Chains A and B, each alone.
Chain A
Amino acid sequence: MTARRLPSQGRRIDRSKPISFTFDGNEVRAFEGDTIASALLANDVVGGFRSPILGRPRGVFSAGPEEPNALVEISEPWFEPIVAATMVDAVDGMVVASRPGVGRLRADASPARRAEHRHAHVELLIIGSGHDGFYPARDAAADGERVMLVEQRPTIEEGAGGDFVAEEVTYLTRATALGLYDEGYVTVLERAGDRDRLWHVRAGRVILATGAFERSIAFADNDRPGVMLSHAASWSYPLEYGVLPGSRAVLFTARGGSYGPASVLASNGVEVPAIVDVGSIGTEPDLGLARDAEVLNGWVVSSTDGEQRLEAVHLVGPGGERRTVECDALLVSGGWDPNLALWRAIGGGVRYDEEAHAFVPTEGPPWLTVVGAATGEVFNDSPYWFVPSDDTTRHFVDFQRDQTVADIANAVDGGLRSVEHVKRATYIGTAIDQGRTSGVVTAEVVNALIGESPGWQGPSNARPPVMPVPYATLAGPFRGELFDPIRTTPIHARHVERGAVFEDVGQWKRPRFFPRSGESMEEAVERECLAVRNDVGAMDASTLGKIEVIGPDAPAFLDRMYTNRMSNLAAGSMRYGLMLGLDGMVLDDGVAMRLAEDRYLVTTTTGNAAVVLDRFEEWLQTEWPDLRVYCTSVTEQWAVVAINGPRARDVVDAVGTDVDLSREAFPFMTFRDGQVAGVSGRIARVSFSGELAFELHVAGWHGPLVWDAVMAAGQAFGIEPYGTEAMHVLRAEKGYVIVGQDTDGSVSPADLGMDWIVNPSKGDFIGKRSLRRSDLVRSDRKHLVGLFPQEILPEGAQLVLDETAETPMPLAGHITSSYRSPALGRPFALAMLEGGHLMHGRTVFAPLRERTVACEVTSPAPYDPEGVRRDG
């Protein structure tokens, strides 16, 4: 008879509900309410685990989150790569495997636990529901405050429990506060049945009633299965789960005279032959029910023995005398340390208390208080950290890192004195238990080894989360389609029906191309491009950012925001504009349409709409509050169909409109309000392809109707829908840049050869002064050029002037856009090239991994350079 289940006792288990699960393939019988660890002990699985580096046998060491040994992978009914067996309730049919210290991901795994996120706001959050946490919660709730009580264990620890708290207090059980952050922001992980719930709590005040952790003592082979922390072995397992850790137990304690653990075990029928007390207190010991135990004052456990599990302990007396005691359980208590991981991670201070022989809290954030055992209300006697020995290579300190007193000594011999340095040399405290049982011991071993007194320095700092959290839980429901908002245009369903391949542009889904059956992307894009150049194409341009800028000072405001003048634009006309950062670099481009004297609609690039609106707001609110201007996003109010190609006028005419579409009546860069396909809308003559083009703007809900009308009317003219890929090719052939693709925040208008759009005579505008900075007028800046490479180059490829140069080759530029141009019948690229404006006609080289590609430098606008095609 060794570790076993008692016939009665165990307030957490329900003996009427037997369950079973498998551990490393073997059946384990348990009751509902058991943790995996308590069930293992009840089945006399005392070992069963391996240490991660040395492969030494290990067993359950504790009953809580400090567990360093009993780490498991759960593969049914959910997948969890690694978790402490002490923290998970056993479930019928569960499949559990031991894991040596490190989790692994598995492609064949069951789904992770379901996860959800919740938010809560409370006046008071209390972490820990023991005596010191429970009563403040009750009192605050009675005062009408919103209170949340977080308890790591399955039930509220103190008081009458559920009846009272259900009314006035939000209480979470099986819940761990993972971290405290600024101003009472706390994240809490609740294990609720088959799902994890991540709480984001903002609390006015936070009370830490997190108690204390029992600390271990380092001696030879102190990691043998059967060695356990005394409180877990004598209190948690017998009283909560009705499980005894063994049949013959020795208590090894540095808490002089405190022999309660021996008494509890003895009362449950465990034989206790000896109590090894490092102290030498001569007073009458209180043995309780362990009256048969021999108390050995001044003795220590020097080492242990056993095959797979503990069979005996070797003792050394104050005079060097030696004894061996057979036993199958060794209860160790080096004392208690306040649980201050959360406190320290938010910047709370600690000091060593000479009375408590422990580190206790000092100053912290004003919203945070510590109560109870966590403040240092612990009863430690003589501080005792490790048993001196000539050989400390098996005196384990950090079980999860397999690090010993000898390893610490090695680090100290190497000149390290700070625990933070020792931590990084040994990795002590960096495993998933965050060194709960090893932190203080390590600090005190270092203090002793460098000749300092106890408490000279404390354990290394802790960081949230205090427990491992699966990424799936952190992600919660925000996965797949919920990962990021998906924006679609009013016409989206039509594109889906037509089999469009979509690409993400910001949060938008845009058709990239519309393949016919069997077509590759290259073939589809070529067909779409040629349709626009030779006949006509239509694209959904609804994603363009659209901002209405309204007010008497709107003209003056836009003059300050764009490099060119918008104030002299006539109503009914539109103008392309560049927007710069204060540093003079291109930030965005777009078209301003003057709707009325005091009213503009400006467009932005698809991905930049929010940035531009925010920028307008910033200047209006913070710098020019005197300007009477209001900005409204209308991106989603308008559906836009762009019709490009020589037959564009015919298509719009066939769609039906009351607007005079003739070249004379409706010039380029103007717009007209009128009827389109039977609904009221706006037609704009603006082109991003260089071809004759009309944009049809209608209310969003009319988008599908107008799209259908365009496709039907266009059939006679060979219309093709085209996507962003063809649009990119068409605009590149004309040298129209895409901000964010051909520019990267370090490109000025002059670098793009776009001085023509900068109007220095109109007064100040954002970025103007920067254009004169010495760095922006260098002649060797990178300039936008066109390239005719011998083959299609990858975007991002580097350019060199001398292909024979030694590596590292001097780099002269890079490709920003690269396509096969159907209109030119050859590969074509845009690039940023040093001094490029003066290099047209020269040859540069793109060194790829296997070969070097020669490229002829050309104007960035090789197609229709005179611009004769835009008027049809």
Chain B
Amino acid sequence: MLLIPCPWCGPRDEIEFHYGGQAGIAYPADPEALSDGEWADFLFMRDNPKGAFAERWYHVHGCRRWLDAVRDTATYRFVSTGPPGEGAGS
């Protein structure tokens, strides 16, 4: 079970969290301006790297706050976490 450093609660068990998928996928400013292909890219296409991966978690059974994180998908270790938009590195 992962140990997730919540920026507000400290390290907590994974069962307290929901996974939120890749971080840094901004909602398009004007969805209507996008082609079907561009919209499908936003909707369905996500990275799947081996190694550092920026992702979102929701501390649903804790402080109920969302956070961004960088996690190594090979070792499952968290490299960093922070508030939405700030924890996924740059």
State whether these chains interact.
Answer: yes
Q: Which residues in A have their C-beta under 8 angstroms from that of B84?
A: 621-622, 625
The distance in angstroms between the C-alpha atoms of A852 and B39, with both chains bound, is 43
Among A181, A622, A623, A768, the residue within 8 A (CB) of B1 is A181
Q: Is B60's CB within 8 Å of the partner chain A?
A: yes
Of A66-74, A182-190, A653-661, A864-872, the segment with at least 4 beta carbons within 8 Å of chain B is: A182-190
CB distance from B88 to the nearest CB of A (A): 11
The distance in angstroms between the C-alpha atoms of A769 and B32, with both chains bound, is 6
The distance in angstroms between the C-alpha atoms of A202 and B12, with both chains bound, is 10
Q: Is the CB of A770 within 8 A of B39?
A: yes
Contact string against A for B residues 63-90, beta-carbon threshold 8 Å, 1 for contact and 0 otherwise:
0111000000001110000001100000
Q: Is A583's CB within 8 Å of the partner chain B?
A: yes
Q: Is B9's CB within 8 Å of the partner chain A?
A: no
Q: Which residues in B have their C-beta under 8 angstroms from that of A182?
A: 1-3, 76
Interface residues on A, range: 20 to 34
Interface size on B, residues (CB 8 A): 26
Q: Is the CB of B31 within 8 A of A769?
A: yes
Q: Is the CB of B39 within 8 A of A769?
A: yes
Q: Which residues in B have their C-beta under 8 angstroms from that of A625?
A: 84
Q: Is B20's CB within 8 Å of the partner chain A?
A: yes
Q: Is A628's CB within 8 Å of the partner chain B?
A: no
Q: Which residues in B have their C-beta under 8 angstroms from that of A773?
A: 36, 39-40
Q: Which residues in B have their C-beta under 8 angstroms from that of A365?
A: 75
Closest to A623 in B: B27
Q: Is the CB of A768 within 8 A of B64?
A: no
Q: Is A617's CB within 8 Å of the partner chain B?
A: yes
A582-B20 contact given A764-B32, A769-B31, CB 8 Å threshold: no
CB distance from A551 to the nearest CB of B (A): 17
The distance in angstroms between the C-alpha atoms of A202 and B40, with both chains bound, is 41
CB distance from B81 to the nearest CB of A (A): 14
Q: Is the CB of A622 within 8 A of B76?
A: no
Contact string against B for A residues 764-800, beta-carbon threshold 8 Å, 1 for contact and 0 otherwise:
1000111011100000000000000000000000000
Among A181, A583, A614, A623, the residue within 8 A (CB) of B58 is A614
The distance in angstroms between the C-alpha atoms of A614 and B39, with both chains bound, is 24
Q: Is the CB of B34 within 8 A of A769?
A: yes
Among B2, B18, B56, B76, the residue within 8 A (CB) of A614 is B18
Q: Is the CB of B66 within 8 A of A183?
A: no
Q: Is B16's CB within 8 Å of the partner chain A?
A: no
A774-B66 contact given A183-B76, A184-B3, A185-B1, CB 8 Å threshold: no
Q: Is the CB of B66 within 8 A of A617?
A: yes
The distance in angstroms between the C-alpha atoms of A182 and B74, with both chains bound, is 11
Q: Is the CB of A202 within 8 A of B60?
A: no
Q: Is A618's CB within 8 Å of the partner chain B?
A: yes
A770-B13 contact given A614-B60, A621-B66, CB 8 Å threshold: no
Q: Is the CB of B3 within 8 A of A617?
A: no
Q: Which residues in B have their C-beta under 8 angstroms from that of A185?
A: 1, 3, 13
Among A621, A623, A764, A770, the residue within 8 A (CB) of B65 is A621
**Can you add 13 more A-B contacts, CB < 8 Å, to A183-B77, A622-B66?**
A181-B1, A182-B2, A182-B3, A183-B2, A183-B3, A183-B76, A185-B3, A617-B66, A622-B84, A622-B85, A768-B32, A769-B31, A772-B36
Can you offer 19 A-B residue contacts whose CB atoms are under 8 A?
Answer: A181-B1, A183-B2, A183-B77, A202-B3, A583-B43, A614-B18, A617-B58, A617-B66, A618-B66, A621-B66, A622-B84, A622-B85, A625-B84, A768-B32, A769-B31, A769-B32, A770-B39, A770-B43, A773-B39
The interface of chain A, by Cβ under 8 A from chain B, is 181-185, 202, 365, 582-583, 614, 617-618, 621-623, 625, 764, 768-770, 772-774
The interface of chain B, by Cβ under 8 A from chain A, is 1-3, 13, 18, 20, 26-27, 31-32, 34, 36, 39-40, 43, 56, 58, 60, 64-66, 75-77, 84-85
Q: 6 shortest A-B CB distances, which residue pairs?
A: A769-B31, A183-B3, A621-B66, A185-B1, A622-B84, A182-B76
